[in-house]
Structure 1
Amino acid sequence: MASVPPEVPDLSEDDLKSILETVISKSPDGIITVNMDGVIVFSNPAADRMYGYPSLRGKNLDELVPELMREDLHIKMEEYRAEGIHELSGRVFETVSLRADGTEFPVEMTINPAETPAGRYITSIIRDISQRKEMEEELRNREEQFRDLFENASDMIQAVNPEGKFVYVNRAWKETLGYTDRDLEELTLFDVIHPDKLDECRELFRRVMSGERIPTVETAFITSDGEKVFVEGNVNVRMRNGEVEYSRAIFRDVTERMKFQRELERLAAIVESSGDAIVSYDLEGNIMDWNRGAEMVYGYSAEEVRGKNISILMSEEELKKLRGLISEVKSGGLVSNFEAKRIRKDGEEIWVSISMSPLRDFNGEIIGISTIARDITEMKRTQAALEASEEKYRKIVEKFIQNALALISEINR
Structure 2
Amino acid sequence: MPIRSASSLPPSALGAMPAQSDFYRTLFDDAYDGLLLYDEQGRLVDCNQTALRMLGTTRPMLLTSGLMAFAMPPADERQDHWLSELMLREAVLLTARTGERFSKWWHGRRTDHVMIDGWVTLHRIQLPVGLRVQLTLRDVTKGRRRHEASEQRQQADRTQQQLRDVLSRTDLSYVLVNREGIIQDVNDFFLDFTEYSRAELIGKNYFDLFPPASDQELSRQAFLQNIKEESVADACEFPLLTKLGQTRLVHWHVEFARDFDQNVTGAFFVGRDHTDRLVAARALTDNRNRLQDFLDNAHDLIQNLSIDNRFLFVNKAWKEKLGYTDDDLTQLTLNEVVHPYYKAKLLYQLRNLYKGEKVNKLETVFLTKTGKPVHLIGSISCSWQDNEPVSTRAILHDITDRIKAERLQKVYYSIANLAISSKDLNSLYGAIHRELSKIIETNNFYIALCDDARTTLQFAYFVDQNSQGSRGMGARPFSTGVSEYIIQTGRPQFLLKQELHDLIADGTITAFGLMPEVMLCSPLSIGERIIGVIAVQDYHKADAYATTDIEILHFISNQVALAIERKRNEEMINKQNARLNAIFESGSHLMWSVDMHSRLTSFNRNYAAYFLRRNGVYPALNVNLWQADMAMMDEEAHDIFQENYKKAFQGLAQRFEVRLRDARGQDTWREIYLNPIYLDDGSFEEISGMAHDITATKSSQLELAAQEEKFRAIFESFQDIYYRTDDQGIITIVSPSVYDVLGYKPEEVLGKRIVDYYVNPIDRDRLLLEVSTVGALRNFEAALRHKDGHAVPLLINARAVSGAMSGTEGIARDITELNQIQEDLRGLKMKRRPLCMLKPSSWPT
TM-score, with normalisation over the residues of structure 2?
0.26
Q: Which protein shows a greater Rg?
A: 2
